[in-house]
Structure 1
Amino acid sequence: MNLASKKAIQNLLKKYQIRLSKRLGQNFLVNKKVVKKIIGSARLSPDDTVLEIGPGIGNLTIELAKKVKKVVAIEKDQKMIEILKETLKDFKNVEIIQGDILKISNFQLGPKRSSGGWWAGCSLISNYRVVANIPYYLTSPLIRKFLEAEIKPKEMILTVQKEVAERICAKPPDMSILAVSVKFYAEPKIIAFVSKKSF
């Protein structure tokens, strides 16, 4: 199945009777070059654990799974979970979790789950990375969640709106509260700009 084809995606959504939710800011990255750029920017290794937020139909998830030891994909939309089970069925190193990332705590992802839960033994996974293509409404609370997390990610590679990225990377005296917060914990930078045609 070619998940970089808009026609294939439309057929997949039709098969599962899914209409994209504007409320959830759902859109899918279909540009293979952009997906490769994201993968390359993450500097992944075979021993890495990646937390992907909002995997959608799994096109980025598949490429991540080819590169790392473990991918944990958290999807809020229950209907999308059914699609992910189909598109990711050949990847045994992907764990799909249905839930709202803002309401899931470290402990819910680990000790309260099975021994195979990715956060179990989290002290050994202190270098996990976060990869996400996130809607505007989720940007600030998501970044804040991980900046304040007990176990912070080694790196976050986020696809966000251009204006948001520029705000986060702003310098004094034009810094927002979000920019100040991010720079207290990390060094943000813009890797590339993505055309609307890529979605």
Structure 2
Amino acid sequence: QADIKATDHVLEVEPGTGNLTAHILEKAKQAVAVEMDPRMVAELVKRVQRTLEQRKQNIIIGDFVKADLPYFDVCISNTPYHCQISSPLVFRLLSQRPLCRVAILMFQRLVAQSGAPLWSHLSANVQLYAKVNTVMHVPRNEFRLPPNVDS
């Protein structure tokens, strides 16, 4: 769904151990990962080191909301639900200039259509500035450590 091109600069927020990172690096020109947890950074480095794609990967260790971000065309994030980063992440992305071409974000179900039971302040604000599509619903039992909510 992200339609990553060979010329794209991709920003990955909270990549964890790099399950998506490997796929991003296969397609993108450059990938920047922003990760707060030093343990996850170590795992990410291990996963990417000694691969041809290693030269295309940069890692920013720190808080995405406060980090000095480079230019990016695509943003991808499968943020852990316990981090409570969903709203700050969305508002930070919407404040970036230039806006990225596409953002693929996995959230617990909280960005709903107008009038839907899950309609929220976040839903309203996002839909003022961006076109929002639900790509898929992911049931909680699809996760190795299932969260208490669906995605």
TM-score (norm: length of structure 2):
0.82
CA shift digits 1:30-68 (9 cap, x unpaired): xxxxxxxxxxx1111111111000111111000011011
Match of 2:114 in 1: 171
Relative to structure 1, the CA distance from residue 173 to residue 96 in structure 2 (aligned partners, 3 Å threshold; closer, same or farther) is closer
CA shift digits 1:81-133 (9 cap, x unpaired): 111111011122111111110111xxx34xxxxxxxxx2xx4xx5xx111000
Please state if 1:152 is matched with 2:95. Answer: no
More strand by share: 2
More helix by share: 1
Q: How far 1:153 moved relative to its partner?
A: 1.5
Which of these two proteins has the greater Rg computed from alpha carbons? 1
- Aligned AA for 1:59? N
Match of 1:99 in 2: 62
Provide the aligned C-alpha RMSD in A. 1.7
Does the CA-based 8 Å contact 1:53-1:74 persist in structure 2? yes
Unaligned runs of 5+ in 2: 144-151
Q: How far 1:149 moved relative to its partner?
A: 2.0
Does the CA-based 8 Å contact 1:169-1:188 persist in structure 2? no
Q: How far 1:173 moved relative to its partner?
A: 8.0
Unaligned runs of 5+ in 1: 1-40, 110-118
Does the CA-based 8 Å contact 2:114-2:124 persist in structure 1? no
What's the % identity of the aligned pairs? Answer: 31
Please state if 1:186 is matched with 2:133. Answer: no
Match of 2:28 in 1: 68
2:80 and 2:17 map into 1 onto residues whose CA distance is 15
After superposition, residues 1-199 of structure 1 pair within 5 angstroms as 41-89=1-49, 90=51, 91=53, 92-104=55-67, 108-109=68-69, 119=70, 122=71, 128-136=73-81, 137-162=84-109, 164=110, 168-172=111-115, 175-199=119-143
Match of 1:36 in 2: none
Q: How far 1:181 moved relative to its partner?
A: 1.1
**What secondary structure sits across from 2:135 in the alignment?**
coil
